[in-house]
Amino acid sequence: MYLLMAVWRRAIAARRPALVAWLCAAALPLRAPLAQNASRAVERRLAQKNASRYDETFRRYTKRYFGPGFDWHYFKAQGMAESGLDPEATSYVGARGIMQLMPSTYQAISSRRTEFGAINDPEWNIAAGIMHDRYLWKLWTASISERERPSFMFASYNAGEGTIMRAQSAAKSTVGSAVQWAHIEQIAPTVPRWRYRETLDYVRKIDRYYGSFRQRW
């Protein structure tokens, strides 16, 4: 990489545009791993910074909505992937808080839980996010094994359950009824109206944060 950069600078100085263009193209395959490594480093720093933040809240509402045997680290990892655990985070489409809930979704959930307060209150935002996860978990119970279900749950949270159901239908035409998340990853580019790269990266990011938190625990 350093040799390429040196030749690139000399090519610019010598005004050789063809060589500059070739060098830029040659450097592209090297940029992706560098960017990926930088992103992973940021994730590790965020995980260390938030090592114990909101742990009790994630524990409490995981136990309430999923039972005492379910690992609460999954939902903390999701909160990290959504917002870096920033209660004031707002996305470009208007999703709010740690779990990045749309105001309409939060309103629908909080209308059944009168104790819930403002959408950007960390406790209620986390509680509502985990409660929505519970709905999605139950949605996949009949067709997806428990081992595979977290990926389908989180993907549905990100892309909507209808999108992931379309992906499941497409995968069934190839592998039959025993669809796993790996099959969804393979057929994702063929599913219409889906920003699949965002969703696949989202699920992988949760897996990485989950691994970081589990190692600490």
pTM above 0.85, yes or no: no
Residues 62 and 107 in one domain: yes
Residues 70 and 43 in one domain: no
Confidence of residue 11 (pLDDT cuts 50, 70, 90): very low
Confidence of residue 45 (pLDDT cuts 50, 70, 90): confident
- Average of per-residue pLDDT across 153-166: 98
CATH number at residue 118: 1.10.530.10
pLDDT at 41: 73
Residues 119 and 183 in one domain: yes
Residues 22 and 94 in one domain: no
C-alpha span between 129 and 175 (Å, rounded): 32
Is residue 7 packed enough to be buried (19+ CB in 10 Å), middle (13-18) or exposed (0-12)?
Answer: middle
Residues 63 and 88 in one domain: yes
Asked if pLDDT for residue 4 goes beyond 70, the answer is no
Residues 82 and 41 in one domain: no
Query: Which has the closest alpha carbon to 199: 171, 147, 157, 143?
Result: 157
Asked if pLDDT for residue 137 goes beyond 50, the answer is yes
Rg (CA), the chain: 21
Q: What is the pLDDT of residues 90-115, one digit of tens each?
A: 999 999 999 999 999 999 999 999 99
Asked if pLDDT for residue 22 goes beyond 70, the answer is no
- Ramachandran sector of residue 38 (left: φ over 0; alpha: ψ -120 to 50; beta: rest): alpha
Residues 11 and 104 in one domain: no
Number of domains in the chain: 2
Residues 127 and 37 in one domain: no
**pLDDT higher for 66 or 41?**
66
Question: Where does 50-72 have alpha helices with state H?
Answer: 55-66
Residues 95 and 202 in one domain: yes
C-alpha span between 22 and 180 (Å, rounded): 41
Structural domain harbouring 63: 57-216
C-alpha span between 209 and 215 (Å, rounded): 10
Asked if pLDDT for residue 80 goes beyond 50, the answer is yes
Mean pLDDT of the chain: 86
Residues 196 and 149 in one domain: yes
C-alpha span between 1 and 116 (Å, rounded): 53
Residues 130 and 190 in one domain: yes
Residues 40 and 138 in one domain: no
